[in-house]
Amino acid sequence: MTTTPRILSIAGSDSSGGAGIQADIKTIAMLGGYAMTAITAVTAQNSLGVQAVETCEADFVGAQIDACLEDIGADAIKIGMLGSPTIAAVVAERLARFGGKVVFDPVMIATSGSVLADEATIEGFAQIMEHATVVTPNLPELAALTGLPVASTEEIVEAALVLARARDVVVLAKGGHDEGEEVIDRVVSPDGKVASFAHQRIETRHTHGTGCTLSAALATMLGHGQPLTHAVRLARQFTYEAIARAPGYGSGHGPLGHQAVRRSE
């Protein structure tokens, strides 16, 4: 028997290692989890952008999920880039049978600005959120999912609450795209409870994979059995330290320094 939490990441592969499956594996491992993967798409990308994408067949994605869950099992699932509406449907069907902790990062656009989800795939996000424990949109994603403005604190909370109640899911609205000296993330529950988490903004261009890292860290902390609010706090701390320790690679939006973060810090 082991106390190592089993975390399944369902996401796309980033050839440069900064985001997606690669960022998830690094995060999960550094936080004491056992990482498994179901790859939805293979991308050719780097700090400058996404040059090419090959989406996997939906049945193959389902087979990867089944192979992991039927043998090793999972304590939590993290979902990132889906790649197509048919993949979204297959993933949702597996989630309905899973019944455990699920963190959904509704990836639409890469840090570089490359589009990673078309309108049909975004429509498929609804069936994923029906089975999620937490959904982690950034502000542009929150606006796209709700059709509401997110220019002020009140608007962000209102949009997050609308999404939380519509899907009966906790919403972690990430504030990195907002302006100001602090980054403020807000956790909004369907019952209207709001918790805010803030840290000083790090002025850096090395933020590739930040959303992937945060959601993977959150899934790992939930897999460890941490209560949601504390899991968010720990996941944010890991992500902040990874940004602060970025190795400086790439001439665009560079990767984080996952390998430099130690759990004792």
Q: To 5 degrees, how large is the angle CA 93–CA 60–CA 142?
A: 55
Measured torsion, CA atoms of residues 194, 195, 199, 203, in degrees rounded to the nearest 10 = -30
Strand-pairing partners, residue 196, are: 186
So which residues are the catalytic ones?
Answer: 174, 207, 209-212
Q: Which residue has the tokens 């899973």?
A: 98
Euclidean distance between CA atoms 221 and 32, whole angstroms: 9
Q: How does DSSP assign 5-70, residue by residue?
A: PEEEEEEEEETTSSSHHHHHHHHHHHTT-EEEEEEEEEEEEETTEEEEEEEPPHHHHHHHHHHHHH
Residue 170 and residue 218 in contact, taking contact as beta carbons nearer than 8 Å: no
Centre a 10 Å sphere on the Cβ of residue 151 and count the other Cβ atoms it contains. 11
CA distance 25 to 168: 28
